[in-house]
Chain A
Amino acid sequence: MLEASVVGRRDSELWRRAITIVVFTIAIISFGVAAPSFFTIANIRAIELSSSVLLIASIGATFVILMGSIDLSIGAVASFCGMLVARLAPDLGLWSVPIACLVGLVFGAINGLVYVYLRIPSILVTLGTATTISGAVLFISDGRSLSVSHAAVIDMAQGALAIMVPNAVLVSAGIYGVAVLVGDRTRFGRMTLAIGSDEQVAALIGVKVNTIKIQAFALSGLLAGVAGVLLAARLGSATVTMGSYMTLDTITAVVVGGTAITGGLGNVRLTIIGVLFITILSDGMNILALPPYLQTIIQGTVILLAVLLNTNRASAEDVK
């Protein structure tokens, strides 16, 4: 008599994941066949380095997107914090790193505060702050690119404890591990999902919606800051717009990973798939030396395909 009526959704979800991974593997193998140098240590190291920076920024973006919001200021914050490190490193040395990250946190918190208390859609808040912050980057750098001259700072990304594993990878792996734990096993992780799923319900249950929102944006800012610092360390220099590519790439990575852009569905854990996908694709195409416009076209197509495979699509009426 008492039977739970369960919608058979799980199996299809597993299927989709499986298909994604198969396609992913095929892509990697075909790159390897087309360009034998794809599997060299140097290239793998390159992929590791570039994906670690993007991964860190994408983790912050994931929490924000899980809430159904969006953070367009990631690129600007990353640029600012990278520039700040380059600027401060000669005087403060390694101390410049925590300071820059903290500034990222402050930017994120400002985003969150404005978003929550002025009740402006996050896409507009972060668009505004992104513009303002990119102006501020010009201000502190006078538009020039700066070298990161402090060896210890550079070592943070480029140095390596183990041969195959640059420090940047260790940093991002650590952050990823913590983020997965936070996403799955803490109050904060659940709350972001609850807010994304239904804000009113979340508030009713006693979720401190505003606090969580501010926290998520602050976290996103902090991680954007860390990513910016790491990027500066990796490049050995900071430029005015060096982080700007991250804004779109993080969103793409999160969505390709399978987190719904509308929020409430997804997981930090998945984001790494999207990050690797983007990085490996662009690395592979660079090795094959495909003409740049063709790269762009392929990239766009692959984003569409990946999302097509990876997301649970509602009926056309509900698609927004």
Chain B
Amino acid sequence: MSNTWYEPQTTGSTAGVEAKVQIAQFYNRHRPIINAIGPLLLLMAMAAVFASINPRFLSWINLFNLMRQSSILLIVSTGITFVILMGALDLSVGAIVTLVAISSAVLIRDFDVGAAGIAVAAAGIGALCGLVNAALVLRLRLPSFVATLGTMTILGGVSTWISGGANVFFQSPNLTWIGSGSVIGRIPNSGVFALLIFVVASFVGARSHFGRALFAIGGGGLTARLSGIDVLRTKAAAFVVSGMLCGVAGLLLVARTSTGTSRMGDDLLLQAIAAVVMGGTALSGGSGGVHRTLTGVLVIAVLQNGLNIAGVHTYLQIMVTGLIVVLSVTITLDRSRLASIK
């Protein structure tokens, strides 16, 4: 048995193979660090590039700008993270934001609802939409992708119907102040508000029974149920929370614009999904975390803001955005936990 056909394979390109193995080992050993620091490095690199083009990128004013601009996306992304964590998807977030924005505007303009009332109404409408999603997914047992695709379409129609297609313009100093004013120094309220929601949600996601239940459902639904977790209620709660946060985001959006416009929130859907995945939460559920979403949101916000400040041509802006999405997911996603990537 002098047949040693395996040997040449290893001797031929030892160096290359060894190097590969070493890289793989290095990656495996330091994966958590790479996944956590990678996006930060990307952010810093982006900031460095933009600052070198226009130093004012790093000014305080712009930092507040960034807070303002990312606040709504942050709230929506936080909401959808709960749904994604349990392995479902909510395609209706953008439509809910639009619906809430428009109906809040109508309520203020035509029915003179006060600021407190409008806040309750906005969160309520959002939660109601989430409840409808939950009912479709859990009672009628439609896959969430399809169910929310349907509600997305329907809610879009309802928004247009409510507004009659027109811009719903209103004046409400209180609301404008909530959206655009500032309590603490010049830090914008909307940013503070979004961060507050984010921090609470992160804590809930990481430490509450609800958050743990979501992880368990995303990682293995049957196990969760057999461990005594009320799967249906948890899932429903996730959809409702997502809807409610979209409602809050919708109110904040309309508070900033003072005008309810059709489709005003629709762009948020894909941005939010991208932000969540860029943050490192897997779409298959069970892995990641609410707290990670902030990174993704910042990448998107910094990119848009920086490209504008740098005065980059629109076409190029669009093209670069797409590439950055892919690049940042490449860095952040912890693929080792995923058996297969779909």
Contacts and interface: CB of A to CB of B under 8 A. Distances in A.
Is A in direct contact with B (CB under 8 Å) within the complex?
Answer: yes
B3 interface: no
Nearest to B318: A135
Contact of B325 (A131, A200, A255, A316): A131
A304 to B, nearest CB: 4
Contact of B321 (A131, A200, A295, A307): A131
Interface stretch (B9-17, B144-152, B187-195, B241-249): B144-152
A115 interface: yes
A295 B161 CA distance: 11
A205 interface: no
B184 interface: no
A156 to B, nearest CB: 29
Contacts of A263: 342
Contacts of A252: 149
A134 B318 contact: yes
B146 A124 contact: no
B153 A139 contact: no
B330 interface: yes
Q: Is the interface of B mostly helix, strand, loop or mixed?
A: helix
Interface stretch (B20-28, B50-58, B62-70, B309-317): B309-317
Interface string A293-320: 1111111110110011001011111111
Contacts of B157: 292-300
B61 interface: no
A304 B147 contact: yes
Interface in A102-139: 114-115, 118-125, 127-136, 138-139
A82 interface: no
A320 B270 contact: no
A124 B325 contact: yes
A303 B339 contact: no
B146 A255 contact: yes
For chain A, the bracket of interface size reads 35 or more
Given A135-B318, A294-B157, A300-B154, A121 B283 contact: yes
Interface string B10-44: 00000000000000000000000000000000000
A320 B146 contact: no
Interface stretch (B108-116, B123-131, B132-140, B203-211): B132-140
B142 A308 contact: yes
B319 A131 contact: yes
A124 B328 CA distance: 10
A4 B232 CA distance: 35
A318 B136 contact: no
A147 to B, nearest CB: 21
Nearest to B276: A124
Nearest to B141: A313
Contacts of A145: none
Given A120-B333, A127-B274, A132-B319, A262 B150 contact: no
Nearest to A318: B221
- Interface centre among A119, A134, A314, by most chain B C-beta atoms within 10 angstroms, is A119
B326 interface: yes
A114 B326 contact: yes
A128 B139 CA distance: 34
B142 A304 contact: yes
A129 B274 CA distance: 13
B329 interface: yes
A314 B161 CA distance: 35
Given A255-B146, A319-B143, 17 more contacts: A115-B341, A124-B274, A127-B270, A132-B323, A135-B315, A135-B322, A136-B315, A261-B143, A293-B160, A297-B158, A307-B142, A307-B150, A311-B142, A316-B231, A317-B222, A319-B141, A320-B143
20 contacts: A119-B333, A120-B329, A120-B333, A121-B342, A124-B277, A132-B318, A135-B320, A135-B321, A135-B322, A143-B315, A199-B340, A200-B340, A292-B157, A297-B153, A303-B153, A304-B150, A313-B142, A314-B141, A316-B137, A317-B231
Interface of A: 67-70, 114-115, 118-125, 127-136, 138-139, 143, 199-200, 248, 251-252, 255, 260-263, 292-301, 303-304, 307-308, 311, 313-320
Lowest 3 A-B CB distances belong to which pairs? A131-B322, A300-B153, A296-B157
